[in-house]
Amino acid sequence: MSHTQMLYVCMNVAIIAPNVPALYEAHFGIPMSGAVLNTVNIRLNASTIAFLLGHSKSAVVFVDQEFFTLAEDALKIMKEKSQGNFKHPLLIVIADESCDPKALRYALGKGAIEYEKFLESGDPEFAWKPPQDEWQSIALGYTSGTTASPKGVVLHHRGAYLMSLSNPLIWGMTEGAVYLWTLPMFHCNGWCFTWSLAALCGTNICLRQVTAKGVYSAIAKYGVTHFCGAPVVLNTIVNAPPEDTILPLPHVVRVMTAGAAPPPAVLSAMSQKGFRVTHTYGLSETYGPSTVCAWKPEWDSLPPETQARLNSRQGVRYIGLEGLDVISTKTGQPVPADGKTIGEIVMRGNVVMKGYLKNPKVNEETFANGWFHSGDLGVKHSDGYIEIKDRSKDIIISGGENISSVEVENSMYLHAAILEASVVARADERWGESPCAFVTLKPGVDKSDEQRLAEDIMKFCRSKMPAYWVPKSVVFGPLPKTATGKIQKHVLRAKAKELGPVKLSKL
């Protein structure tokens, strides 16, 4: 199979829904009908949804009742832009008793078919269609707006199958696991856990909305054994008010986290509460996490801070991933395993996407020299574990030296008043760029004197890191996030740009 071919999919079915049972069912029913499943991020706006429904040519759209008007708006935009060529997709609305019944009535009034009625109209004798070729597409998911134009990641049956089997193997999941859906299923098919749970005869607990209270009560009520979440989800759990928690936990709960490296302070706090955190890393293009920071027995006896530091590494490849390396962006050769030399993280093998839909040029760049180029920068340690230092575009270059925004953030999370921190490059008259920190404070922190707080934070940073790493600017306020809880650094970079360059006088 060549990754650089022009990719099309034959028949696309889109679904716009939070973590409800119908979305889980769609992961089976749609591929079994021979179509490709296109899960849509519910937090996108109507015009972006219009773009991707058009780009994927989705012939059928399933939509949760709460998001019906969003879908309606998207279809309106498509129609307006179509110049008379618009073909209205089959529209199916998913009812949910926990939602406002008016929304359902509205949808039905607009001619949408109710989901259960739609299922009843099916042929119970329908012979499901196994893929004719295991490289056939199973799912399509659009990357969520950290770049200007969403790209359609096309996944194949072979990769989805192997990732589904790899997930439980690297995470101690056994038959009958009880999995809580905190991770959106629309995000890279819930990292393929949708299919893993079926392979394990496990139980799926669906959550429409993720709150600390919802997570703790599901653990107590349903015996949840496993859930996944971006570091910000962990943050929510760690900083939940006591009345929302149920502690001590009735049993060990395993949590998988991915995305950015979770700050050691958060990892440590989770561990103290009895959550066993497994840190993984991957991308939508690799079916979700495809590397894991495999815990070594000899780490058991280390101090908690050292444990957290080691556990924030991105680790080693999943069993289903054939190749993983860190290569020099200049020479294309593997970097030495010295824990210092930064290169780009690259992957290859079964759990790497087919390519981006209808995007041969980007595919060619992305798969240059037979590797999938992640765009993440990292190092290789002597034990073979990789560790992300930054996204290519997140690295801060100050006076010609690289500053890892992730490392600055990790140190900042140790500050008692900081709930969340994100560091980006800000133009700097003297150094070219310097770190600019955006910070959310913990509830209860006195926010009256921001100047004093900022100085205190900078002082704290000076005690933890080289002087040139210390943020020259600290900005307070809520952080912009994607639907999956990733902090949108491109928004912060835009804000940093608005601030203008750090003046020479500031030194």
Q: Which is nearer to a second copy, 167 or 374 (CB)?
A: 167
Q: Is 252 in the site for a second copy (CB under 8 A)?
A: no
Crossing angle of the two packed helices 231-238 and 264-273, in degrees rounded to 10: 50
Min separation Cβ 191 and a second copy, Å: 17
CB 242 within 8 A of CB 213: no
**Residue 284 backbone phi and psi in degrees, to 5:** -55, -35
Taking CB under 8 A as the rule, does residue 349 contact a second copy? no
Amino acid (1-letter code) at residue 181: W
Decide whether 201 or 507 has the Cβ nearer to a second copy. 201
CB of residue 199 to a second copy, shortest distance in Å: 5
Q: How far is the CB of 177 from a second copy (least distance, A)?
A: 10
* Backbone phi and psi for residue 237, each to the nearest 5 degrees, phi listed first: -70, -45
Nearer to a second copy, 29 or 172 (CB): 172
Residue 294 contacts a second copy per CB under 8 A: yes
Using CB under 8 A as the binding criterion, the count of chain residues that bind a second copy stands at 16
200 lies in the binding site for a second copy (CB under 8 A) = yes
Choose which of 109, 111, 297, 443 interacts with a second copy (CB under 8 A): 297
Alpha helices in 33-183 (DSSP H): 46-56, 68-81, 101-109, 115-120, 157-170
Is residue 130 exposed (0-12), middle (13-18) or buried (19+ Cβ within 10 Å)? exposed
CA distance 298 to 459: 35
199 binds a second copy (CB under 8 A): yes
Q: How far is the CB of 206 from a second copy (least distance, A)?
A: 21
For a second copy, the binding residues in 46-65 under the rule CB under 8 A are none
176 counts as binding a second copy under rule CB under 8 A: yes
Work out the angle between the directed axes of helices 68-81 and 101-109 (0-180°, nearest 10): 30
Query: Is residue 1 close enough to count as binding a second copy by CB under 8 A?
Result: no
For residues 416, 466, 458, 310, the Cα torsion angle rounded to the nearest 10 degrees is -20
Site for a second copy in 443-502 (CB under 8 A): none
Contact between 165 and a second copy per CB under 8 A: yes
Alpha-carbon span 8 to 137, nearest angstrom? 9
What is the smallest separation between the CB atom of 221 and a second copy, expressed in angstroms? 17
Q: Which stretch binds a second copy (CB under 8 A): 161-169, 217-225, 391-399, 421-429?
A: 161-169
Q: Is 247 in the site for a second copy (CB under 8 A)?
A: no
List the one residue from 1, 10, 119, 201 that touches a second copy (CB under 8 A): 201
Instruction: Rule CB under 8 A: choose which of 172, 214, 375, 501 binds a second copy.
Output: 172
Check residue 34 for interaction with a second copy (CB under 8 A).
no
Determine if 319 is a binding residue for a second copy (CB under 8 A): yes
Asked if 310 interacts with a second copy (CB under 8 A), we say no
**Shortest distance, CB of residue 203 to a second copy, whole angstroms?**
10
3 state SS for 6-71: CCCCCCEEEEECCCCHHHHHHHHHHHHCCCEEEEECCCCCHHHHHHHHHHHCEEEEEEEHHHHHHH
Mark the segment that binds a second copy (CB under 8 A) among 14-22, 164-172, 422-430, 440-448: 164-172
* 341 neighbors 379 (Cβ within 8 angstroms): yes
> Nearest CA to 363 among 1, 87, 6?
6
| Residue 118 · residue 92 · CB < 8 Å | yes
Sign of CA dihedral 402, 406, 411, 416: positive
Q: Quick one: which segment of 16-24, 195-203, 263-271, 455-463 binds a second copy (CB under 8 A)?
A: 195-203
Q: 105: which 2 tokens?
A: 């009535």
Q: x/- contact string, 119-158, with a second copy (CB under 8 A)?
A: ----------------------------------------
Work out whether 6 is an interface residue with a second copy (CB under 8 A): no
Q: How far is the CB of 297 from a second copy (least distance, A)?
A: 7
175 is an interface residue for a second copy by CB under 8 A:
yes
Token reading at 467: 């002087």
- Positions 419 through 438 that interact with a second copy (CB under 8 A): none
> What's the rounded Cα separation, in Å, for the pair 182 and 257?
11
User: What CA–CA distance (Å, rounded) separates 499 from 502?
Assistant: 8
Interface with a second copy includes 395 (CB under 8 A)? no
- What is the token pair recorded at 427? 């133009």
Tell me whether residue 334 or residue 480 sits nearer to a second copy (CB atom): 334
Q: Which stretch binds a second copy (CB under 8 A): 13-21, 196-204, 241-249, 496-504?
A: 196-204
- CB contact set of 361 (below 8 Å; sequence gap of 6+): none
In contact, 368 and 348? CB cutoff 8 Å: no
- Stretch near a second copy under the rule CB under 8 A, chosen from 18-26, 199-207, 431-439, 446-454: 199-207
Q: Taking CB under 8 A as the rule, does residue 289 contact a second copy? A: no
d(CA 241, CA 452): 26
- DSSP state string for 222-233: H---EEEE-HHH
Which residues contact a second copy (rule: CB under 8 A)? Answer: 165-166, 168-170, 172-176, 199-201, 294, 297, 319
